[in-house]
Structure 1
Amino acid sequence: MNIFKQLIKSLYSPRDIAKFRFQGIGKTIMFVFLLAFLSMIPAVVQVATIGESLFSDGEELLLNELPAFEVVNGELQSESGTTESADSSGITFYVDGSDSLTTDDLLIDEAAVAFLSDRIAVSTGGGVQEYEYSTFEGVKISSEGIASLLSSLEGAKFIIYFFILAFIFILLAGMLFIKATVFGWIGTKFAASLERKLTFRHSFRMAAYSSALPAVFFLITDLAGSLIPFPTLISWFVTGLMLYLSIKEIPKPKKRAQS
């Protein structure tokens, strides 16, 4: 059975997940990479959307529609004492000259990039990532500097996209392997309580396939723009539930008859 058929089976069939425990580790690793690729699709959309907006309209926004600003000693200095914003391709850009904008305010927008008093905040897919200006020590951050940088990097934007997405893929794959390892150990405890015989290596394989349902679910909700609360908790709970149900499908070892 190829990994795409295994993916479909893993969404609804604990019995098939139990059977997958006997396959080679190489195929399981390929399956984890497939899940990482699927989980990365919303990030591909976000990077492409924000990137194209920045490179096509960013220079115009920074120089003509937003107030001039500069970061000095880790603090935003703006010629305007108010919070100004401008929209481009569905993305809202903010310069918070009044120090009144909060990260929660950014969640109202579908996508937003905000230059706050001491950090940059990027809002996409219902979440906000924050980067303090001190992280970019040695780099001059200003409206003119960023506009010039965007202009000079436009020819290499696809290379930039590649490295960003490669980093995201490696990060997602690593998280999935860690998750499978943790649930591989938990699976051996489930097996002991259910009186099933299960080694860690077999439990690891089952844990990897048990991660398919939450991965596909959150792929769909992210693409639909739905905000699901406590996504990590839900993902780990569903993975644990699928693993538990799969272990129950393993036959109990036969007891030897007493002579």
Structure 2
Amino acid sequence: MSIFTQLAKSVYSPKDMALFRFQKIGKTILYIMLLCLITTIPRTFFYGSFIQDSVSMVNQAIEKDLPDFKIENGELKADIEQPIQKEEGDALFVFDPNTTDIETYKNKTGLFILKDKVVSIGNGQTQTYSYNDLLGTSLEKKDLQDFISVFDSIYPILLAVIGVLVYLFQLFITFLGITLLAFIGSAMSGQRKLSYKQVWTL
């Protein structure tokens, strides 16, 4: 019985599933790998789509909402007098090269790009990143747009890498879970005297 036939029978035939315990463990491992692959594909596209949509939103925000700017010597410089604010739901985005504190927004959740740092507030936690820590050199608006263009060009490769990582993680978790359940199952098999291998294969 091929692993594809086995997959089909496992959906509707418990009797055939009980016979799987007599097959070689290598075939069972292939079967598990196939199941993990099937569950990985939609998850990979979900993660990839989420990343692509997020990058697209950032790109649109940079092009439409932000003026030309430059980060140099740890300071953000842009030719605006009033802060740019954008609110979506409970999240607030602020671009303000003229201030260094967020007292005005301390009860808000969101991302705040200030004169000397980037501040992220969410779930009651505040994360602060100075430009000196984030950047080793100067950065302009065009540099960000160029980076996003590069990201778009390598997106298929990135999607493949994400898929491999998700698949390997799924395999690890699945094999770990099966191994633990097999130990428990063999200990509880009672008079049936099922071997550890048979329980693992089941």
TM-score using structure 2 length: 0.63
The percentage of aligned residue pairs carrying the same residue is 25
1:213-232 equivalences under 5 Å are none
Structure 1 residues 139 and 171 mapped into 2: Cα distance closer, same or farther (>3 Å)? farther
Partner Cα distance (2:40, 2:168) in 1: 10
Which of 164, 167, 179 aligns to 2:165? It is: 167
CA contact (8 A) 2:48 2:159 kept: yes
Corresponding residue of 1:100: 108
1:7-26 equivalences under 5 Å are 7-26=7-26
Partner Cα distance (1:133, 1:179) in 2: 39
Considering fraction of residues, name the structure with more strand.
2
Corresponding residue of 1:150: 148
State whether structure 2 residue 200 is matched by structure 1 residue 197: no
Partner SS for 1:203: helix
Structure 1 residues 8 and 147 mapped into 2: Cα distance closer, same or farther (>3 Å)? same
Partner Cα distance (2:64, 2:29) in 1: 50
Partner SS for 2:87: strand
RMSD: 3.7
Corresponding residue of 2:186: 188
1:17-96 equivalences under 5 Å are 17-54=17-54, 58-65=58-65, 84-85=87-88, 96=93
Partner Cα distance (1:52, 1:198) in 2: 49
CA contact (8 A) 2:108 2:121 kept: no
Partner Cα distance (1:185, 1:62) in 2: 55
| AA matched with 2:50 | I
Question: Based on CA coordinates, which of the two structures has the bigger radius of gyration?
Answer: 2
- TM-superposed deviation, 1:14: 2.9
Structure 1 residues 155 and 20 mapped into 2: Cα distance closer, same or farther (>3 Å)? same
| Structure 1 stretches lacking a partner, 5+ long | 71-78, 86-91, 103-114, 120-131, 207-259
Which of 106, 117, 120 aligns to 2:120? It is: 117
Number of aligned residues: 162
